[in-house]
Amino acid sequence: MLRFDPAQRTAAVLLANAGCGRALYRSVFRELAGMPELRLDPVPGAADVERLAGTYAWPDSVFSATAAGDALVLEGDGRRVEALPLDDRTFLVDADDPDNPTVTFGDETLYVVLWGLPRTLTG
């Protein structure tokens, strides 16, 4: 985690070799971590979900994205979620998750947290 405070001319860095790094950051740097609540309001029709449908994979992870009306159904890593568009490439998967509320699509890539899974070709 890297956090700047230009008004104070300070910065804070936290490196953690664990999946709980963001939670650790929030507890250790509570005052620096204090940010306004992020509002994530889905925008129906904001994305062409059909063009994003497909299979995205890396050797240890596979996600399928299926169009379902204005939403994408994402299945992978033992989860099935309905992802609602925030814009043409960002989808809300869990508004209550303070660390990973969204997934983002790039050119032929699904970004889950910081991991990019390339779209696979299926015959």
- When pLDDT is cut at 50, 70 and 90, the band that residue 104 belongs to is very high
**pLDDT tens-place string over residues 3-58:** 777 888 888 788 878 767 767 777 777 665 555 555 678 999 999 999 999 999 98
Q: In a 10 Å sphere around its CB, with 0-12 CB exposed, 13-18 middle and 19+ buried, how is residue 15 labelled?
A: exposed
Q: In a 10 Å sphere around its CB, with 0-12 CB exposed, 13-18 middle and 19+ buried, how is residue 31 labelled?
A: exposed
**pLDDT tens-place string over residues 15-24:** 878 767 767 7
Give, in degrees to the nearest 5, the angle at Cα 83 between 56 and 24. 85
Q: Is the pLDDT of residue 61 over 60?
A: yes
| Higher-scoring residue by pLDDT: 85, 21 | 85
Assessment of whether the complete model's pTM goes beyond 0.75: no
